[in-house]
Amino acid sequence: MCLRHGQGRDQFIIGDSYIGEYILGKAEGYGQYRWKNGNLYSGQFYNGMKNGQGNWKKQEGSEDANEYQGKYKNDQKHGYGEFRWSTGSRYKGNYVADEKKGYGEMYWSDGSICRGFWDQGVQDGLGIMIFKDGMRKAGFFRANIYESPLLSIDELEEFQKSKNARFPESFR
């Protein structure tokens, strides 16, 4: 059996293609995978899967040319990354198994910002909304729904002390 090793190129029967490094027949190291629909991933591979730093971009020129730049593990977004939607909105934060999880910041195209904690892809836990006019609203979110307010930024400080946690400076 002959396995690819080193630089190579493949055109798959389904219309996708790969250009990059191979080790023992699998994509490993830097490479570019292009889907038949025009989407493109450029970045690190390990054992045939997206692993490490990479950039995924939806087909250029399409109405919804979304883009993700960040860490991958086993073909999924995993670690810190930034996802940009064609609408102008973007999310910067942590991913686990392809879902937003942990601390993250959502920048909406209308100029508002939401900083806080995410679980299973939705805002869940302590968060703060900063509206375009500068007004701030801190509180608790459950399943993407603002549930209960913090009465003041001082209450946020008390919450941090009670949990022995320190939120990023940008949270304020």
Domains of the chain, residue spans: 1-86, 94-172
pTM (two decimals): 0.85
Query: Alpha-carbon distance 151 to 138, whole Å?
Result: 8
If one looks up domain 1-86 in CATH, what number appears? 2.20.110
Residue-wise pLDDT tens digits, 112-142 = 999 999 999 999 888 888 999 999 888 888 9
What tokens appear for 36 in the block?
């038949």
Query: Alpha-carbon distance 95 to 76, whole Å?
Result: 9
What tokens appear for 121 in the block?
């892809």
The radius of gyration of the chain's CA atoms, rounded to the nearest angstrom, is: 20
Residue-wise pLDDT tens digits, 30-39 = 999 999 999 9
